[in-house]
Chains A and B, each alone.
Chain A
Amino acid sequence: GEDVEQSLFLSVREGDSSVINCTYTDSSSTYLYWYKQEPGAGLQLLTYIFSNMDMKQDQRLTVLLNKKDKHLSLRIADTQTGDSAIYFCADANQAGTALIFGKGTTLSVSS
């Protein structure tokens, strides 16, 4: 079945860039998504990328998509302590009826 994989932890210093990586198996998706979860809360959509794009920039966020390698990344520029959270990569299932999530990457930002 479909699968989405992410590394589990990333630790950076305030002001540095963070890069969170994701690989996925289903190549038929129209969109790929990044969500953010703060402690004890639901998920908040951060950004998404259309599958025919290679890159999307949205303020401090840059999403890169390599369809050949089925690799998605999220770069956060000038990382702040408020960016500390769990970040989830998500892809639609084969039927296109629901999102499949990775296990999430916990980003820890130290000052």
Chain B
Amino acid sequence: DGGITQSPKYLFRKEGQNVTLSCEQNLNHDAMYWYRQDPGQGLRLIYYSQIVNDFQKGDIAEGYSVSREKKESFPLTVTSAQKNPTAFYLCASSRVDGGVEAFFGQGTRLTVV
């Protein structure tokens, strides 16, 4: 079955450590996205990529980094520079022609203690 997989579902890290969240898709989509969700804040765009080896900052990119070495994969690193990293992180993918209808993974809940 085609889909988008995020792992792990829950992640705990100590303050000051970098952590990488995984996102893989087998939908053959060119575009991939990372969003952060906080209670009452909706979804805010962190980074997106429309093609391999290229990515763009979203509205809240500070303290995060990404790479896009393969079409299927778009990992997100939450660095120690991110002041409030505890959140629910959602990865999505879409085609780049026509609409940008996005398909979402099940999310990773990151807790930094």
Interface residues of A in 30-64 (CB under 8 A from B): 30-31, 33, 35, 40-45, 48
Write out the residue numbers on chain A whose beta carbons fall within 8 Å of the beta carbon of B102.
43, 45, 99
Interface centre among B31, B101, B109 (most CB of A within 10 A): B101
Q: Is B75 an interface residue, CB under 8 A from the partner?
A: no
Interface size class of A (residues with CB under 8 A): 20 to 34
User: By the criterion CB–CB under 8 Å, are B48 and A98 in contact?
Assistant: yes
> Which of B14-22, B38-46, B66-74, B77-85 sits within the interface?
B38-46
User: By the criterion CB–CB under 8 Å, are A41 and B106 in contact?
Assistant: yes
Write out the residue numbers on chain B whose beta carbons fall within 8 Å of the beta carbon of A102.
42
User: By the criterion CB–CB under 8 Å, are A104 and B100 in contact?
Assistant: no
User: By the criterion CB–CB under 8 Å, are B99 and A97 in contact?
Assistant: no
Known: A42-B107, A101-B35. 7 other contacts (CB 8 A): A30-B99, A40-B107, A42-B106, A43-B92, A43-B104, A44-B104, A45-B103
Interface residues of A (CB under 8 A from B): 1, 8, 30-31, 33, 35, 40-45, 48, 88, 92, 96-104
